[in-house]
Structure 1
Amino acid sequence: MKIIVTDQASKWFQDEMGLTPGRGVRFYGKVYGKTPVHDGFSLGLTPDDELGAPYAVTQKDGVNYFVPEGDQWFFKGYDLTISYDPKVDGPKYDYVENGEL
């Protein structure tokens, strides 16, 4: 799994969540909601500076964006692209199939 964070999304996370280099954002699957690839589950995120043993991690502007090993089930088979959507003034999440089984 790859996590791709655009420049505009990185700026949004830094501005809105007060993230600075060395900090992190953890993405995880949570019950309730819907994504383009899951019914009954949605994407959650929280500031988290402890990577532990991540399933996937990328660093953008010194900030770690990661998925913990325990949430592999939610992301398996997909890469996550995070961009900025000016219409909602927030992040947009795109799940791109990667062929991982």
Structure 2
Amino acid sequence: MNIKISSQALNWFKEEMGLKKGDYLKFHARYGGCSTVQQGFSLGMSIQEPQTEMAASIEKDGICFFIDEEDLWFFNGHDLAVDYNEKLEEIEFTFLN
């Protein structure tokens, strides 16, 4: 499993969530909503350090973006790409085979 964060998405995380060097951002499964990989669940995120083994991670500008081993099931074998949608002015998630 891989995580990809575009430069535009990284800037969004810094500006909107105040992330800076040394911070951690966890992507996790949350009940409710919808996704293209798990019905009845959606992708959540929170600023927190890893509490268990990381299944995937990427560091961009000193910020660690990660997924815990316990949330790996949500991705159903897909990689996660995070980009910025200029039209909507928000980040968007894409699940890649």
TM-score by length of 2: 0.93
The equivalences for 1:90-101 within 5 A come to 90-97=90-97
State whether structure 2 residue 92 is matched by structure 1 residue 86: no
Amino acid at match of 2:72: Q
1:32-74 CA-partner distances (Å, limit 9, x unpaired): 1111222101000011133642011001111100001110110
State the Cα RMSD in Å: 1.2
Specify the alignment match of 1:45 in structure 2.
45
CA contact (8 A) 1:51 1:66 kept: no
**2:35 alignment partner in structure 1:** 35
Q: 1:6 — aligned with what?
A: 6
For residues 15-48 of structure 1, the C-alpha deviation after alignment (integer angstroms, 9 at most, x for no partner) is 1111111101100111111112221010000111
The answer to whether the aligner puts 1:22 opposite 2:22 as a matched pair is: yes
- Give 5+ residue unaligned stretches, structure 2: none
Q: Map 1:44-83; keep pairs closer than 5 Å.
A: 44-50=44-50, 52-83=52-83
Alignment TM-score, normalising by the size of structure 1: 0.90
Q: Tell me the CA shift for residue 82 of structure 1.
A: 0.3
